[in-house]
DNA sequence: GATGCCGGGCG
DNA sequence: CGCCCGGCATC
């Protein structure tokens, strides 16, 4: 237990690319935890997730002790074991850390800060250092100081969870403030920005902004593409969380911090092993943020963006102010779009459609966007405004459709008409292939193929009596193919071999000697194209 | 067996 | 897709 203690979330696998990890963790946290939050009373962290939090206590020797803390179990200080540890750390280990400039480690055990090797590499904090090399300790201190009032020394925020809070918003206990705090924290938690707020006191505004930008930039670059929205979305509780009581507020910071830790852990489990995206949305769930402001349907991919939008456009706040009171949170919701599902859904339509009339109906739905939105998976459990999906989504759909133009044709053309009207006979497309209702009609769109085919499958052959070899060759093939697709029909070929034509063929005419004079078909032992019957 | 073609394989 | 050929049905 000497000098070096590092808080590490063991589950995370600790090595996970910092930024990435964080982002995710943060996001899900907010979303998922929000609800649970309510359950917890006061002291408990506003946002907590269930599940054990596993901390790995890494010591100099490299030996590590794991401390398991149930976030739920977190008591007054809300940090239980972690808290203690951090405390110790501060006492003993802090100095060490400072030297390396990695004090940050103590802040939220978030992997982000986790140095490559059990936090022993100062490099792990690079971003922190870069921005505010010497400040970290200071920040931490500030933070502590700020909280001191509410937090028992012992309860000092986990070093890991130190999330500086801007002065201007002291834990006054206003609901909105809290919300804001939550938002900020979450957003911050995901990124190195964590330090930022506290630094605010010392750092001139401009500088701050610059930081942010830099950070964001670095972030995006360092993390997977998802990051942009992932990170931010966390901060976007679609539904404003119920204001915490003042009492709770007291611990808000702490608790939230604790939460974050736990959250991180939780998340970490998901993201361990560098899984870039949470499993459930493994395939491409895209989170978008939609402005709920009346008549405003702005949809942005990042929470920060939407917040800014709301702040500036709707709230008329100064865009310069980095901090909002969190009010924006109430005006936008997070919507999750499953790109894959969209795609798949559409694509799936095509295949099925031929046989089933089902799919087409889906499209007809009158209201342009509405239907599309339905496809979208509003993941946010919160029953937010059933906001229409952003236009983007619909567009996507459209796009997809176009891609599958060949299939899409039918649906598109099949305006609501038939269905709604309940008109049976295929409209126009094909000589109703016996399809009873409009639905099927739509699918006939590829009628061309069906056209002569309607009747007996086998008949193809039959018809061919007078079969013109030549055309047949071309048409023939196509027809058959289509048949195959559409009808499992009995193979006409076997029984229905085309009778031998009366006319003499190339072979007979030219004889084997002049084979080169044969038509190609004959040469290839195909139906003679020259002397058709 | 000669013919006519289909189905398939190959490059 | 062009070229061939195996193989089958028909004559």
Q: What is the mean pLDDT of each run of 10 residues along chain A (533 residues)?
A: 36 32 32 32 35 36 37 36 35 35 34 35 34 36 38 37 39 44 45 37 39 38 36 36 36 37 36 36 63 80 81 74 64 66 38 33 34 35 36 33 31 32 33 32 32 34 33 34 37 53 77 80 84 73
* Cβ-Cβ contacts under 8 Å for A77 (sequence gap 6 or more): A43, A83, A151, A152, A154, A155, A251, A254
Q: Straight-line distance from CA A498 to C1' C10, in Å?
A: 10
Q: Would you state the structure tokens that stand for residue A26, as one six-digit string?
A: 């943060």
Q: What is the pLDDT of residue A412?
A: 31
For residue range A264-288, list pLDDT tens digits in order.
333 333 333 333 333 344 445 667 7
How many CB atoms sit inside 10 A of residue A403's CB?
Answer: 13
The answer to whether some atom of strand B lies closer than 7 Å to the beta carbon of A527 is yes
For A70, the 3-state DSSP assignment is strand
Cα angle: A95, vertex A142, A257; to 5 degrees: 90
What sign does the dihedral A18-A23-A28-A30 (CA atoms) show? positive
For residue range A179-199, list pLDDT tens digits in order.
454 444 444 444 333 333 333
* Cβ-Cβ contacts under 8 Å for A131 (sequence gap 6 or more): A192, A195, A196, A199, A211, A214, A215
Nucleotide nearest to A492 (CA to C1'): B6
Place of tokens 């390396």: A100
Q: What is the pLDDT of residue A375?
A: 35
CA distances from A189 to A27, A85, A346 (A): 10, 20, 38
The answer to whether some atom of strand B lies closer than 7 Å to the beta carbon of A497 is yes
Q: What is the pLDDT of residue A509?
A: 82
Q: What is the pLDDT of residue A316?
A: 78
Cβ-contact A149, A233 below 8 angstroms: no
Q: Straight-line distance from CA A522 to C1' B5, in Å?
A: 9
Q: Would you state the structure tokens that stand for residue A193, as one six-digit string?
A: 């920005």
Residue whose CA is minimally distant from C4 C1': A524
Q: What is the pLDDT of residue A325?
A: 66
Judged on CB neighbours under 10 Å (0-12, 13-18, 19+), A155 is buried
For A59, the 3-state DSSP assignment is strand
């Amino acid at each position: 237990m000497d000098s070096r203690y590092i808080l590490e979330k063991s589950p995370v696998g600790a090595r996970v690319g910092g930024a990435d990890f964080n982002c995710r963790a943060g996001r899900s946290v907010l979303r998922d935890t929000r609800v649970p939050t309510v359950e917890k009373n006061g002291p408990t962290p506003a946002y907590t997730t269930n599940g054990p939090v596993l901390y790995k206590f890494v010591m100099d020797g490299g030996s590590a002790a794991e401390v398991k803390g149930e976030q739920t179990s977190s008591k007054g200080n809300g940090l239980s074991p972690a808290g203690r540890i951090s405390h110790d750390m501060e006492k003993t280990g802090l100095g060490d850390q400072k030297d390396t400039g990695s004090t940050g480690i103590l802040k939220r055990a978030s992997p982000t800060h986790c140095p490559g090797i059990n936090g022993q590499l100062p490099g792990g904090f690079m971003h922190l250092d870069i921005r505010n090399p010497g400040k970290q300790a200071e920040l931490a201190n500030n933070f502590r100081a700020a909280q001191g009032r509410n937090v028992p020394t012992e309860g000092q925020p986990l070093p890991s969870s130190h999330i500086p809070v801007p002065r201007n918003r002291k834990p006054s206990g206003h609901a909105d403030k809290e919300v804001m705090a939550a938002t900020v924290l979450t957003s911050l938690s995901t990124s190195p920005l964590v330090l930022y707020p506290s630094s605010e006191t010392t750092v001139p505004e401009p500088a701050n902004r610059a930081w942010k930008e830099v950070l964001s930039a670095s972030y995006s670059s360092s993390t997977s593409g998802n990051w942009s929205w992932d990170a931010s979305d966390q901060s976007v509780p679609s539904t404003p969380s119920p204001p915490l009581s003042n009492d709770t507020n007291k611990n808000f910071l702490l608790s939230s911090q604790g939460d974050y830790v736990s959250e991180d852990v939780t998340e970490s489990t998901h993201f361990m092993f560098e899984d870039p995206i949470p499993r459930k949305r493994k395939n491409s769930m895209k989170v978008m943020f939609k402005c709920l402001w009346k008549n405003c349907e702005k949809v942005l991919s990042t929470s920060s963006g939407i917040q800014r939008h709301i702040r500036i456009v709707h709230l008329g706040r100064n865009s310069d102010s980095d901090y909002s009171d969190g009010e924006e949170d109430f005006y936008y919701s997070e919507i999750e779009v499953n790109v894959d599902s969209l795609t798949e859904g559409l694509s799936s339509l095509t295949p099925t459609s031929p046989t089933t009339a089902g799919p087409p109906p889906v499209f007809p739905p009158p209201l342009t966007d509405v239907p599309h939105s339905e496809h979208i998976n509003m993941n946010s459990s919160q029953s937010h405004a059933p906001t229409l999906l952003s236009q983007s989504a619909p567009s996507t759909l459209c796009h997809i459709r176009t891609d599958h133009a060949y299939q899409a044709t039918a649906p598109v053309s099949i305006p609501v008409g038939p269905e709604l009207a309940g008109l049976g006979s295929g409209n126009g497309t094909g000589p109703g292939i016996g399809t009873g209702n409009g639905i099927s009609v739509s699918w006939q769109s590829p009628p061309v193929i069906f056209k002569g085919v309607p009747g007996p499958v086998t008949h193809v052959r039959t018809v061919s009596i007078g079969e013109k070899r030549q055309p047949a060759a071309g048409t023939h093939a196509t027809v058959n193919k289509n048949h195959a697709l559409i009808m499992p029909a009995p193979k006409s070929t076997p029984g229905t071999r085309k009778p031998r034509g009366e006319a003499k063929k190339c072979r007979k005419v030219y004889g084997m000697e002049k084979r080169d004079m044969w038509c190609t078909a004959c040469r290839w032992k195909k139906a003679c194209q020259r002397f058709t019957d």
